[in-house]
Amino acid sequence: MVLPGGSVKTFLLTSTYVEIYLPDGRNVKAFAHPFLSGVLMNLLPRRGLRINPRSTALSLAIVMIGAAGAFASPAQAAGQLYYVSPSGNDGAAGTQSAPWASIAHAQAVAQPGDTVYFRGGTYAYVRANSSCTSQTARVDAITLNKSGTSGSPIRYWAYPGERPVFDFSGVRDDCRIKGFDVTGSYLHLKGLEVTGVRQNNDLNHESWGIWISGNNNVFELINTHHHMGPGLFISGGAANLVLNSDSHDNFDSRSSNGAGESADGFGSHYTPAGQAPNVFRGCRAWWNSDDGFDLIHTYSSVIIENSWAWRNGYIPGTTTSSGNGNGFKMGGFGGAYDAGAVKHTVRFSVAFGNKAAGFYSNHHPVANDYFNNTGFGNHPSFDMLGVDSNGAAVGRGNLRNNIAYTGTLTSNMTGTSSAYNSWDLGIALSDSQFQSVSTSGWDAPRQADGSLPGLPHLRLAASSTMIDKGTNVGLPYTGAAPDLGAFETATSTASQRYEAETAPATCHGTIDSNYAGFSGSGFCNGSNAVGAYAQFAVNASATGTATLTIGFANGSTAGRSVNLSVNGSTITTVVFEPTGSWAAWLTKTLTVPLTSGGNTVRLDPTTAAGLPNVDYLDVRPA
């Protein structure tokens, strides 16, 4: 950005927003990328800004021809911006040129809708924020207990292009330690590295890198590692999204229940019944001494998708046996039957080289869904050990479109619902079925948008006999039928339809069929309330833009205003105009960014009038 007097400021253009840094460093406005052209070309000239016509998809020049404060109103609408730096001072103003020093001070000031940027460098901690009352007590180094609100989270983000590291290795309090203790809700942590939480005695099971008991939070691009306990541990919280995050090299060498028995990569536990699911999407867990993902003791569903787990169950970086060693441990209650058990889901995910099972039911009392996963070189890849109401061992699981190759393939399958998997179809597996079977490079840097690296490993070769050999389980696919395994190989410019009445779509209202002309078996009649949203789970074969077409009817006399969000970020506000009657169906078309793999598209009404009736969502690569 070229400013009066010849000064130059930077900007950031990502797949979802552009951030414009004004002269005083305080005001940044974020615009959703799919409608950048409309917003920038129309709004900015009215604010005294002129677009440089030489802008491209990767560069944007904006010349300010008005006063430095000309952009104040949009910046205020987006919330305040604050800055924290390892060399900052909590007595400073919290601006880009005078940053604060601590997240604690930033939290004391920040309000819903505000963003706190953390500059790169190490934030080293040497003590907890309270004293140990006993050697088995729990203390926090950082407590995040102030909440945002729905639509206005408090954001704690890495400054673009920089890496803030929260190092807790110097905390020597003689009890159990939580690096981050997130009790607040509607928070968004992004781009933070968290490391080094210790166990300082032998009287406890584990400490924790990040502990979460709040709800409706987003943890994005988190790198949590080298803790003496789990990297990220949800305890009682609900509706949290862990997105494109890594947890690795965790080892609890001083646990009272045995060295290495408690350091999972990710965990979701103790959430009460009836809550919205916690979701892990695009995550990786490796070299954790216990399990990669662990869902033991929880009473609301958990969804894991497009995630990878490998080499868990060993002392990190070695082949020395340590904890349980499952890639995905999908529930259980300590081996006992529990009537409150609920179904969990793992899909489009990969487990390889784990000491024990790649995908493990862990005595879960009900059948989980295992759809489109790949197990390679585990022991076994799919262990469906469940428990019935009499406490007897029995197979539990719904398995479709999975691959198990090398190592031990399956165990405890009696009693499961298993079909259209590589072992059911009698397909002769060999390395030639895949583009690569390499187990190296899975920890490669993520793509620019944060999604998993685009590796050829365990993706089907063009000649594979596992292409189009699956069955439709209500998830997106291309070709005549779903492929087997975690990666859909075919690409297509054809649209994929998602019906509003068909799971995993959700409707906060009722599924009705009383107005003719709809697609499928019904439509979503949302409740007349703010927050009564419709949501679709959308799978994309590649990262990029996609065209959404929404089928709707609005028999009222006024337009209905709706926020459209993708993966938790609001993209635009859409007004669904009256269609003349509830039986008159129209479409609304928009362009949005999608990441490779699973995506969540939500339609959220902004007024008490609620949504129009929503029939379907068509998705087509742009």
Residues involved in catalysis: 329
| Closest to 601 measured CA to CA, from 584, 586, 614, 610 | 614
Rounded Cα distance, 121 and 156, in Å: 15
86: preceding bond cis by omega (within 30 degrees): no
Distance of CA 522 to the CA centre of its chain: 29
CA angle, corner 568, sides to 291 and 237, nearest 5? Answer: 45
Q: How many helices (H) and strands (E) does the chain have?
A: 4, 50
377 phi, psi to nearest 5 deg: 65, 35
Rounded Cα distance, 209 and 282, in Å: 19
Rounded Cα distance, 593 and 95, in Å: 31
Two structure tokens written together for 501: 């009445």
Distance of CA 312 to the CA centre of its chain: 21
Rounded Cα distance, 396 and 385, in Å: 6
Two structure tokens written together for 284: 């990786």
Cβ neighbours for 111, distance < 8 A, ≥ 6 positions apart:
79, 80, 154
Two structure tokens written together for 342: 């609920």
Exposure string of 436-449, with b = 16+ CB inside 10 Å and e = fewer, is ebeeeebeeebeeb
101 phi, psi to nearest 5 deg: -105, -25
Rounded Cα distance, 103 and 182, in Å: 13
Q: How far is residue 184 from each of residues 113, 178, 188, 475, 546, measured CA to CA in Å?
A: 14, 15, 10, 33, 34
Rounded Cα distance, 395 and 410, in Å: 11
| Closest to 416 measured CA to CA, from 481, 372, 364 | 364
CA dihedral 359, 360, 365, 371 (to 10 degrees): 10
